[in-house]
Amino acid sequence: MSENLIRGAAACDVDLSGVENEYSAVNPVMPYLRQERIPHIWCPGCGIGTSVNCFTRALSDSGLDLDKVAIVSGIGCTGRVAGYMNLDSFHTTHGRPIPFATGLKLANPDLRVVVYSGDGDLSAIGGNHLIHAARRNMDLMVVCINNFTYGMTGGQVAPTTPIGPTQTTMPYGNFESSFNLPFLADACGAVYVARWTVYHVKQLAKAMLEGLKKKGFVFIEAMSPCPTLYSRRNRLGDGVDQLKYYKEKSIVKNGADTKEVGLTYQGEIVVGKFVDRERPTWLDSMNDHYTKVFGDRFTRVGASHDEN
């Protein structure tokens, strides 16, 4: 049993004797996690762990060879996901998991590469990479955990923060317009765009499963509570209160026009699968184009990937 697990359990006054076997036997999630790194760093009520649970179920259902699945994260609370997954995993720099993943994918097209990071990492500092990877239809699945704030640094305003709530760098309430991320991803050419919350665990896991099987740029936004900073500072209650909000204010609209799915402060949340279309990936386009240009002299890059 890992020292961390023992230490964590001791701190919480929990008896773990015999637990590891029990975990392994009864918890289907554990084989997908680096058990020696548990407990994780996330706060009580945070939804990132729930999303990871959904992701492990999607991995499990996908039938993918897990040796061929790589996960790349940036920096921030969600940036720690890569470190807990029992996959080839890369914890990169702030905002740059998408270009790292691009290099990983193009240098070994046999890999199914997942980018798992937060809204600040992907849409602020990493915004340029997000839009260009979508434009290129790079064959990546991007999971964006949106908690409306910078959690790791103490609750600063994010590009996703709706107008109204207080953040440490918007001490009198946010007055800056926010991104509608599904609309952004859609407009830039993503072939699969969905939004769910961590209340919608079945739907989120299903979207991740579809995303894992989809070829091209997949963007899944998962709304997740930040009870420690965002909720507490704005007196929105704890994690459970945010889940209640997700439950009460979410409206499922599959195929919704992404222009119409922008979020407001504690307002209605349109969830669903918004985009599911086909478009050649960057690598397919390169291979097809060079086959036309060079004929037999050209060997397709990642030929085995073509067959999938």
Partner 1 sequence: MHADPKGVLTGTHFIDGDHAACEGALAAGCRFVAGYPITPSTEVVERFAQRIPLVGGVFIQMEDEIASSIAIMGGAWAGKKVMTVTSGPGLSLMMEHVGLAAITETPCVIVDVQRGGPSTGLPTLPAQADMMQVKWGSHGDYEPIAICPNSPQECFDLMIKAFNLAETYRVPVFFMMDEVVGHMTERVVIPPADQIEVVERRWSAKKPGDYRPYDTGDDMVPDMVKAGDGYRIHITGLTHDERGYPAMNPAAQEKLVTRLLDKIRRNRENLVDVREDGVEGADVVVVSFGITSRVAGAAIESARRKGVKVGHLRLIIAWPFPAARIEALAGKVKAFVVPELNMGQMALEVERAVAGKTKVIGITHAGGTVHEPEVIEAKILEAAR
Residues that bind partner 1 (CB under 8 A): 34, 36-37, 67-68, 70, 72, 82-83, 86-93, 96, 98-108, 110-111, 128-129, 132, 282, 286, 290, 293-294, 297-299, 301
Shortest Cβ 34–partner 1 spacing (Å): 7
> CA-CA distances (angstroms) from residue 264 to 46, 122, 155, 167?
20, 20, 18, 15
Q: How far is the CB of 107 from partner 1 (least distance, A)?
A: 3
CB of 206 to partner 1, least distance (A): 26
Residue 99 or 151 having the CB closest to partner 1: 99
Return the number of the residue (265 or 290) whose C-beta is nearest partner 1.
290
Q: At its nearest, how many Å lie between partner 1 and the CB of residue 186?
A: 19
- Check whether the bond before 39 is cis (ω within 30° of 0): yes
Q: Nearer Cβ to partner 1, position 37 or 213?
A: 37
Q: How far apart are CA 202 and CA 64, in angstroms?
A: 19
Q: Least distance to partner 1 from the beta carbon of 252, Å?
A: 34
127-136 and 97-107 helices, crossing angle to 10°: 30
CB nearer partner 1, residue 72 or residue 205: 72
CA gap 31, 243 in Å, rounded? 27
Torsion of CA 195, 178, 251, 98, to 10 degrees: 0
Residue closer to partner 1 (CB basis): 294 or 306: 294
